[in-house]
Structure 1
Amino acid sequence: MPRIKVEVDGAMYEDDVEPRLLLIHYLRDRLGKVGTPIGCDTTNCGACTVLLDGMSVKSCSLLAVQADGRQITTIEGLGLDGERHPMQRAFHEEHALQCGYCTPGMILASIDLLRENADPSDEEIREGLEGNLCRCTGYQNIVRAVRGAAAEMRVQGEGRPAAEREATS
């Protein structure tokens, strides 16, 4: 059985895993990261989106062994010292959720979107989130939330592309 070592939400884990174990099941069943919902199991809905080395991935389409040696951030790993991440605050303030099922994946995909494009237009936001489905909201409040978080993150220096941040550090 393969042994993996991953960092999840800032904590290191080392486990033996079945070669066919999906990352979503490793996160939920082994690590108790139930904030990441299982949606469709077919990569269509995006509810299970997590950040893998800062980039959004659908954890139902990735094997746990493929995450070996990598850093994973789930919705539970966002924010610092009990403070919500700017994207979480924006989703709350803009009422960008109803049932909440898609929200963890939508938030993480939005953070990745802003990693590449710190000031996206409404059309770019909609395009960037097209792999994450919401059946409740109609997306307008989600777009408004991403726009609001983008503005806050630019002020804090979080919304710049990684290469730009590294060049100024």
Structure 2
Amino acid sequence: MVEIIKVYKESFPSLRLIGKRYTNKDRDEMGGFSSKWCEWHEKGYFNILEELESLPENEGAYLGCMRCTDEFEYWIGMFFSEQTPVPDGFTYVDIPSGDIGTCWIYGCEDNGEIYGQEPHDMCMSRIKEEGWQFAEDTWFIERYNCPRFTTPDENGKVILDYCVYLKD
């Protein structure tokens, strides 16, 4: 069973998200972006980004970043300092400094229970309980931190950081 085991606030400097942008038309047959993640690993896209100096606050984590402006966007990539040059084949978006609310979602990655609407709603509810408000046109971030996400514990469970930008 999935659960939220930690909720806290972080402050991020202005940053550059470097990666690849996807929209609803890029969803796979299951309705998600797992096929895009497979493509990233198969084609070594993260290897290219890892050659750059990632943002220390990000701890070198891989990211899935979502927002809805004119259309839904799903980015796969990493955070870097704002002036980081963008490698060929990648795109970027600069994100202003701000506070984020972070939840640690604890559960099994294999069965997908840490993804989707239910864990999202659980996190948003816990962040609201802290008295924090979401920023307008906010970013939602899946942060795949090593080793919290990459090394399952004795119960076969991992921790996915799920973050949202907060109103000033």
Q: Greater helix percent: which structure?
A: 1
Q: Greater strand percent: which structure?
A: 2
TM-score (norm 2): 0.29
Name which structure has the greater RCO, CA cutoff 8 Å, separation 6+: 2
